[in-house]
Copies of this chain bind each other. A is one copy, B any other.
Amino acid sequence: MRYLEDLSPGECFTTASIRVDEADILAFARQFDPQPMHADAELARSGPQRGLTASGWHTAALVIRLVVEAAPLAGTPWLGLGVEGLRWPTPLRPGDELRVEGRVLAVRPSRSRPGHGIVRVELTARNQHGEVVMTQSPSLWVPCRPAAPQVPA
């Protein structure tokens, strides 16, 4: 288990990679983002992106999966408080292989709730060509290390 005290700015981690297929892109899009560029391979071919692209929210969902599986805090549960700077500079396409790099930007104890703190992270997701398909800066709510039991002197 890793806690707030174990994290410091500049720390980096890399996730495994995951491949996304046309069927995955269509299934997510039909359920959550049924615009033609994400949900209709044929219409997408003649569209401005010249082919099917994943919903940006599909990319975001795959990124969280890779980060959860990488378990940068080992088994410690963390909670996303919010996200700034969510961007999709390059679309994710069928056959792409997605991988995420994380970097700790800032670590501070909570002023209102002792025992917890806020960790700001930068996540950069790239495809197999190294092109950035998503960036975001989430703020995470992370527990401090539980106090050691008091031993009488």
Q: Measuring CB to CB, which residues of chain A are less than 8 angstroms from any residue of chain B?
A: 28, 31-37, 47, 55-57, 60-62, 64-65, 68-69, 77, 79-88
Copies per complex? 2
A62 to B31, CA, bound (A): 9
Sample of 13 further A-B pairs with CB below 8 A, known A33-B65, A55-B64, A60-B60: A31-B65, A32-B62, A32-B64, A32-B65, A33-B64, A34-B69, A56-B80, A57-B61, A82-B86, A83-B83, A84-B84, A84-B86, A86-B86
Say whether B77 contacts A81, CB under 8 Å.
no
Instruction: For A34, give its contact among B33, B68, B84, B87 (CB under 8 Å).
Output: B68
Please name all residues of chain B whose beta carbon is closer than 8 Å to the beta carbon of A31 when the two chains form the complex. 61, 65
